[in-house]
Structure 1
Amino acid sequence: MTGFPRAIGKLRPQVKNDAWGSHTVIAELTGRSAPTEQPESELWMGAHEAAPSGIADTTLDQLVARDPVLALGPRVAEYFGGRFPFLLKILAPETALSVQVHPDAAQALEAESGTYVDAWPKPEALVAVTRFEIFAGLRSYADIQRLVDSLDVPELSKKLAEVSGSSTPVTTLLANFLRLSADEQDELVAAVVAGCGARLQGPDAEAFDAVLRTAKQFPGDIGLVVLLLMVHRVLEPGDYIFVPAGVLHAYVGGTCVELLANSDNIVRAGLTPKPLNIEELLRIVDTDREMVPERPTPGRVSSYPVDVPHFQLHVVAPGRDETPLPGTERPRIALALHGSVTIHCGDSDLELAPGESCFLGAGECPATASGHGTLYLATSGLSN
């Protein structure tokens, strides 16, 4: 940190080890030897209490606590009560993540005690680093009806007919699936998986194939049927999608950079050995939000739209010339991938090797970047 004013410096991110992670991806992106002894699922860069990043001789959450106004800026510090507003991650799933949903702020506060690990909402966004396969958002009832008709599984068609008179057929169908007895779930899942295997042509072939591949990882899991209610997408590198609170989603595989509110609140609906909270999921799920990949602003710096105050993502393309970084007077975390990037701040430079990241406090001077790598820059969505 020599030569840098106040709160700016390289971060020491936290590696998360989950069974669904990769033994190679995060290690290789951060310049470490691979394969790793344990699977590495996520790389956290932020100040969440469960795994705060190190910075100099402290941690980012402690640094912010020392002087929230310097670190966050006066408006951001006041709005978020002095708490760091976002969390930047690399995700590297080799097996599917659970089908899950996250609460908004009011839902997190209203929930029964012990339901959530913190009192914050958890909207999130991601940009694909490699091809990244996801299910995100629920299909419309009409589209579910079309898909079920094409799949031609009598057990599934019967369940759909049972909700045809409901005022909220998608929510009711989801609830009926999740509330089936264990034997009923086994019967329905087996029929659905067999039906997907017999229909690997046509407009839904990619979704059916994804269900089949996931069935090998989670045999007999009711989450496989829930996937059919959701929209399947394969994001290409650079594609971006915003997932607001309440939207059901499951990430199948690939590598992405994820940016989210500073929360770890999760409610699961399948594809996991962890407990499901069906009633809470049905309370908070949003069945109407359509998920559409977002388009960035054009230019060397791509800024992605978002409608929450917690975060905004910017991606800076490689280039030898210095380019101004957005988010001056906001808290920022910068991550370099696929090459080194130099952050220029006043009279000082900070070089980030591939996989390295740094924090720039809101009290810092305007910054620029140059280099051969791609820079992922996370800022608060709320300006000072």
Structure 2
Amino acid sequence: MTTPSRVIGKLRPQIKVSAWGSRTVLAELTGRPSPAEQPEAELWMGAHEAAPSGIADTTLDRLIARDPVAALGPRVAAHFGGRFPFLLKILAPQTMLSIQVHPDAEQAVDAAPGTYIDQWPKPESLVAVTQFEIFAGLRSYDDIHRLVESLGVPALSAKVAEVAGGPEPVTNLLVNVLRAPSDEQHVLVRAVIAACGQKLRGPDAAAYDAVLRAAEQFPGDIGAVVLLLMVHRVLEPGDYIFVPAGVLHAYVRGTCVELLANSDNIVRAGLTPKPLNVDELLRIVNTNREMVPERPTPGRVHSFPVDVPHFQLHVVEPGEDAIQLPGVDRPRIALSLHGSVVIRCGDTDLELAPGESCFLGADECAATVSGRGTLYLATSGLANS
């Protein structure tokens, strides 16, 4: 008989309430009464100190602290100092989130005291559950020049021309926009919004429309201009995108499953009433990384590529025949959506209803899954073997 899992149990996720969330999406996905009393923006499944998930009679962070090697496996426990390496979420934005960027490991440690909540990097990835609208990464200088000339805002064209031919033109353009005096920013925002309203046809119409919606939500905010410098996309269900530390991004609307390093470090660049930290943003931003969505691979199990040791995302499509889960020797969190599944690990059977999740500690248990739900499986990117 297969050795039973050392650590396996259902999680009690944490719901994050925010004005940009939905009163229906998370409630319906998790089988709770809808509409909810407050707009629910995020469902957290993990061990971050700010909102650890419950498990049995404790919380996941405390359970791991009792025996990190049993929960994480020896190599993962050693590499991450006994700390759980990733955080799984469902995001349900109905209105736009702030424009954000996150630090890498070295930047988080080297930042001025008080800049960040923790000392971890925050690379992210997501897979769209519905159509999911985002801005991710910055356009090339040539594409920015094309778009701005088409838009026909002289003040913005002047800023684009000012950095032409110099080193890092996109970075310097971002500096010029974000560090412009407030009265100049207000004039620029008004001119850009007026021009976008006249350009709702053609190849950039969807981006202009998103900028107009952002400006309605945050009147006068310079973030509307920053969005024009970014790549606009609408991901289809099943599309996956990896957002490394340093990449500017803004999530607009839709529903996605997000997997990220176990951190809540954020630097904002606009579209928020919260403070901006322009100096820190410009210290850590990467203006050259291209964001390329990936479609699911053929077959029932889709294992998306990983560039970091903290996490890897897998999606298992529905099926009545049991199929082995990836990540046999890694810590895992499994989330079922759109139907129930049964996870079998040794002599333990665990049924997950739609919206339920569980934690599986690292061991030699070849866990399997079957059922009508879609399983989103988060593992560490680092194996113990």
Contact kept in structure 2, 1:334 and 1:357, CA below 8 Å? yes
Counterpart-to-counterpart distance in 2, 1:17 and 1:343: 30
Alignment-mate amino acid for residue 309 of structure 2: P
Verify: 1:220 aligned to 2:220, yes or no: yes
Residue type matched to 2:57 in 1? D
CA distance in 2, matches of 1:347, 1:82: 27
Q: Secondary structure at the match of 1:269?
A: strand
The equivalent of 1:22 in structure 2 is 22
Letter in 2 for 1:133: E
- Residue 155 of structure 1 and its aligned partner are, at CA, apart by 1.6
Give yes or no for the alignment of 1:270 onto 2:270.
yes
1:302-317 equivalences under 5 Å are 302-317=302-317
Q: State the distance in 2 between where 1:56 and 1:7 align.
A: 11
3-state DSSP of counterpart to 1:272: coil
User: Where do residues 180-191 of structure 1 align in structure 2 (5 Å cutoff)?
Assistant: 180-191=180-191
Which residue of structure 1 lines up, in the alignment, with residue 147 of structure 2? 147
Q: 1:165 offset after TM fit, Å?
A: 3.9
Deviation, 1:5, is 4.1
| 2:238 corresponds to | 238
SS at match of 1:149: helix
Q: Following the alignment from structure 1 to structure 2, what is the Cα–Cα distance between the partners of residues 359 and 5?
A: 10
Once the two structures are superposed, what CA deviation does each residue of 1:166-213 show, in whole Å capped at 9, x if it has no partner? 211111111111112221111100100111110111111110111111
Residue identity opposite 1:110 in structure 2? D
Partners in 1 of 2:16 and 2:243 — Cα distance?
Answer: 22
How far does residue 33 in structure 1 lie from its aligned partner after superposition? 0.7
Are 2:117 and 1:117 equivalent residues in the alignment? Answer: yes
Deviations 1:308-367 (A, max 9, x none): 000000000000000000000100000000000110111221000000000000026110
Say if 1:311 and 1:378, in contact at 8 Å, map to a contact too.
yes
Structure 1 stretch displaced more, 207-216 or 248-257: 207-216
Q: Could you give the per-residue CA deviations for residues 48-102 of structure 1, whole angstroms, max 9, x where no partner exists?
A: 0000000000000001000100000000000000000000000000110000000
* Letter of the structure 1 residue corresponding to residue 208 of structure 2: F
1:192 aligned to 2:231? no
Aligned to 1:129: 129
Question: Aligned with 1:327: secondary structure?
Answer: coil
Q: Is the 8 A contact 2:4 2:365 kept in 1?
A: no
- Shift of the alpha carbon at 1:294? 2.1
Q: Could you tell me whether the CA contact under 8 Å between 1:138 and 1:288 is conserved in 2?
A: yes
1:92 aligns with 2:92: yes
The alignment's TM-score, normalised by the length of structure 1, stands at: 0.98
Alignment-mate amino acid for residue 153 of structure 2: V
Match of 2:350 in 1: 350
* Aligned residue number for residue 179 of structure 2: 179
The SS at the match of 1:292 is coil
1:82 is the counterpart of 2:86: no
**Cα distance in 2, alignment partners of residues 139 and 234 from structure 1:** 16
Greater CA drift, 155-164 or 307-316: 155-164
Q: Determine the structure 1 residue equivalent to 2:158.
A: 158
Give the whole-Å Cα distance in 2 for the aligned partners of 1:206 and 1:296.
25
> Contact (CA 8 Å) 2:122, 2:264: kept in 1 or not?
yes
CA distance in 2, matches of 1:115, 1:157: 34
SS, match of residue 17 in structure 1: strand
Counting matched residue pairs gives 382
- C-alpha displacement of 1:267: 0.2
User: What is residue 61 of structure 1 aligned with on the other side?
Assistant: 61
Alpha carbons 2:5, 2:361 under 8 Å: kept: no
Aligned amino acid, residue 7 of structure 1? V
Whether the 8 Å CA contact 1:171–1:287 is kept in 2: the answer is yes
Aligned equivalents of 2:5 and 2:368: distance in 1? 15
Task: Give me the whole-angstrom Cα distance separating, in 1, the residues matched to 2:281 and 2:378.
Answer: 29
Q: CA deviation at 1:19?
A: 1.1
Could you tell me the TM-score, scaled by structure 2's length?
Answer: 0.98
* Percentage of identical aligned residues: 78
Helix, strand or coil at the partner of 2:173: helix
- State the 1:4 CA deviation: 6.2
User: How far apart, in 2, do the equivalents of 1:44 and 1:4 lie?
Assistant: 27
2:333 is aligned with 1:333: yes
Q: Could you list the runs of 5+ residues in structure 2 that have no partner in the other structure?
A: none
In structure 1, list runs of 5 or more residues that go unmatched.
Answer: none
1:121 counterpart letter in structure 2: P
2:229 counterpart of 1:229: yes
Give 3-state SS (helix, strand or coil) of 2:257's partner.
strand
Instruction: Give the Cα separation in 2 of the matches to 1:271 and 1:361.
Output: 39
Q: Which stretch of structure 1 is more off in the superposition, 43-52 or 178-187? A: 178-187
- Secondary structure of 1:246's partner? coil
Structure 2 residue matching 1:299: 3-state secondary structure: coil
